[in-house]
Amino acid sequence: MSGRRGTARDKTTARGEATRQLLLDEGGRLFARKGYDGVSTRDIAAASGVNLASIAYHFGGKAGLYHAVLEDIFENMERAGRPLVATALAGVADARGDADELARVTWRFVHDFLAWSLGNSRNFWAVDFLQREVMRGSDTMERFYASVVGPVYEAGSELCAAAHNGVLSHEERALRGHALVSMCMGFVRGQRVVLKRTGWETFTPQRVAVTARGVADAALRMLGLPPVDPAFVEMVECGGIAEERA
């Protein structure tokens, strides 16, 4: 009997978690499109297909849901950003100035940045949500800069400095790193423009791969690094596919 009660509790918990995540996703989409004041709890409940009381039950209300969406975005981006930055910095150290190795490290940094950003459909609205937060000038954006944005741009600066044998001034290092990362961010923030210009309806895995490969190749040319070997490209892209399947 206790086993059956345990199974019932597990199912109830799973349904509750599914409802909570659904509210985060649908609430996030609406907040990103209309802003906090332009969305009601009824709008969110209707879009999620759940009872209005579910919002109060899981988040305490609209303000609690909005904060939870922001925290969820931060956690997802921090989870993706940490290994991206760590791999790039370790790669720069291991390359010891070797141009071919730096090219592979840079190519992978740009490729993995875009593969995750464009390959995760949730990021499509999360970027709009964060842009609204930037315009609001909220304190939470300082935390986002410190934990995600700053480290990614710093990794870009390290790659640029290494590509120029460490002879860049502090200002040049910062500006070139900004240019490298902004090259990627332009595709993330401008996803709708990319889709319109290419005639694509959405980013399929194949289209994400084409985009990431093209931008990574352009980054190498910008830094004056040699092209990477096709076998390396295949290894990186197959690794990404394997991770998605896992």
Q: What is the pLDDT of residues 138-172, one digit of tens each?
A: 777 788 888 888 999 999 999 999 999 988 899 99
Helix, strand and coil content of the chain, in percent to the nearest 5, comes to 85, 0, 15
List the CATH code of the domain at 67-245: 1.10.357.10
User: How many Å apart are CA 159 and CA 132, to the nearest integer?
Assistant: 30
User: How many Å apart are CA 13 and CA 20, to the nearest integer?
Assistant: 10
What pTM value is reported for the model?
Answer: 0.83
Class for domain 1-60, per CATH? mainly alpha
What is the residue extent of each domain of the chain? 1-60, 67-245
Q: How far is CA 228 from CA 8, 10, 105, 133, in A?
A: 54, 49, 10, 38
DSSP string, 28-76: HHHHHHH-STT--HHHHHHHHTS-THHHHHHHSSHHHHHHHHHHHHHHH
Name the average pLDDT for the chain. Answer: 89
b (16+ CB within 10 A) / e for 32-70: beeeeeebebeebbebbebeeebbeebbeebeebbebbb
| Structural tokens at position 43 | 């709008």
| Structural tokens at position 231 | 């076998």
User: What are the pLDDT digits (tens) for 217-240?
Assistant: 999 999 999 999 999 999 998 875
Task: Supply the DSSP symbol for 200.
Answer: -
Q: How far is CA 42 from CA 30, 45, 57, 70, in A?
A: 12, 5, 14, 20
Average pLDDT over residues 105-123: 92
User: What are the pLDDT digits (tens) for 2-17?
Assistant: 555 556 555 656 777 8
- Return the percentage of the chain with pLDDT > 70, whole number: 91
